[in-house]
Amino acid sequence: MSNKLKENDMSKQETITLNGKTYVEVDPNKKDVQPAVETDHIIVIAQRGWIFEGYKNKAVKDKLQLLNANVVRSWSNGKGIGGLAESKIGYTLDPVGSVSFANEAIIATINVRW
């Protein structure tokens, strides 16, 4: 792609400046655009009964790190923790940001489909 064509493509993107930083609109259907951090949305069942939901940071290799994570405080829908894989309705999730686990602290992981 020529530099001129790249400049024309960039000029068509929507931008917004917030707190001194400029953000560029990204088309999620474009295959050449990659996320800054590759993630998987998962539930982690950890030692001592802790349950978390979040996005696995694939860039971290020596432990499991969740981004935009929530701790699962309670649920009242009778579906147990497996039901969270399908929907968050009926679950109380408290945001914790990012959280890391030593590999030996993980009991199980479940893929989330929402």
Domain extents for the chain? 39-111
Residue pLDDT, tens place only, 62-88: 999 999 999 999 999 999 999 999 999
Q: What is the pTM assigned to this prediction?
A: 0.66
Which numeric CATH code is attached to 39-111? Answer: 2.30.30.100
The three-state DSSP-derived secondary structure of 79-114 is CCHHHHHCCCCCEEEEEEEEEEECHHHEEEEEECCC
pLDDT over 90 percentage in the chain: 64
Residue pLDDT, tens place only, 98-110: 999 999 999 999 9
Radius of gyration of the chain (CA): 19
